[in-house]
Homo-oligomer: A and B are copies of this chain.
């Protein structure tokens, strides 16, 4: 049996998933739990690469699947459909997360720390304090980057007072202007030119299930919705392929303007009525413009899940 304990975030990892797994490794080592090692469940996105380059750090190694009985720690997710292949038979020792709980089950008692905050790293920052461990510059930058990413520089409605407080404290430890760094980081993340349409709709796609219905909500951040919509035809073709291959009832592609805090969605599949009912908007050309919507977790998923 592998003696390492892997810690990882969700598939299609975002900055919180990567940074929080690296931070949990650091915290666990400080606490004397040395066999913990961070892993990633997919490619590093451009925003996260910006963070790693800035800090001169290597990304965690890729983890394709886990064997039965493998000890794991999850961060930034809990739903098995968003986790590593083989998770059903892994030994889940702990979870640190800020999402709803669903499609999750263990055989044995475990550590589970969830708080309804904007970012997993905000919870981890509190854990450093609870454990009485010092926060050094590297982990401060990792947590700060995760918070900026998940809360869109504290503008997302998922942002809590705890995230704001954590970001301020972390910026002080890291001796950095969070606004200047944050805007550069978010800009780096919204450069979508290199991606094919297939890649675009899978950059940050979360699969959910309700009853026997399967749906995906994918999200991209941009500074120009128009630029993304120039590729609408190709995007729709890629989505239909995804729907067919995975027997989905609904695919929502959310294009979020992070500077103005709005989202344009493209919705395809047999259950698009769910979107029209949930958001009280008629789809035109398969699209709807959702003013003030930026958070998939708080403003899109609950509405879709409820009406599904």
Contact = CB atoms under 8 A, between A and B. Distances in A.
A101 interface: yes
Contact of A114 (B103, B111, B115, B306): B111
Interface in A95-139: 98-117, 130
Contacts of A102: 105-106
A297 interface: yes
A302 interface: yes
A226 interface: no
Nearest to A105: B102
B101 A106 contact: yes
A31 to B, nearest CB: 14
A107 B100 contact: yes
A116 B91 CA distance: 13
A116 B108 contact: yes
Interface in A136-177: none
A305 interface: yes
Contacts of A110: 100-101, 114, 116
A113 B112 contact: yes
Nearest to A98: B109
A16 to B, nearest CB: 13
Contacts of A116: 108-111
Interface residues of A, number: 25
Contacts of A117: 109
Contact of A302 (B103, B108, B302): B108
A287 to B, nearest CB: 26
B111 A105 contact: no
Contact of A112 (B112, B130, B297, B306): B112
Nearest to A102: B105
A104 B105 CA distance: 8
B107 A305 contact: yes
Nearest to A129: B130
A200 B277 CA distance: 50
Contact of A100 (B99, B109, B302): B109
Contacts of A101: 101, 104-106, 110, 112
The 10 residue pairs across chains A and B that have the minimum distance between CB atoms:
A109-B116, A112-B114, A102-B105, A100-B106, A112-B112, A101-B106, A100-B108, A100-B109, A111-B115, A98-B109
28 contacts: A98-B109, A100-B106, A100-B107, A100-B108, A100-B109, A100-B110, A101-B101, A101-B104, A101-B110, A101-B112, A102-B105, A104-B104, A107-B305, A107-B306, A108-B302, A109-B114, A109-B115, A109-B116, A109-B117, A109-B297, A110-B116, A111-B114, A111-B115, A111-B116, A112-B113, A112-B114, A113-B113, A113-B114
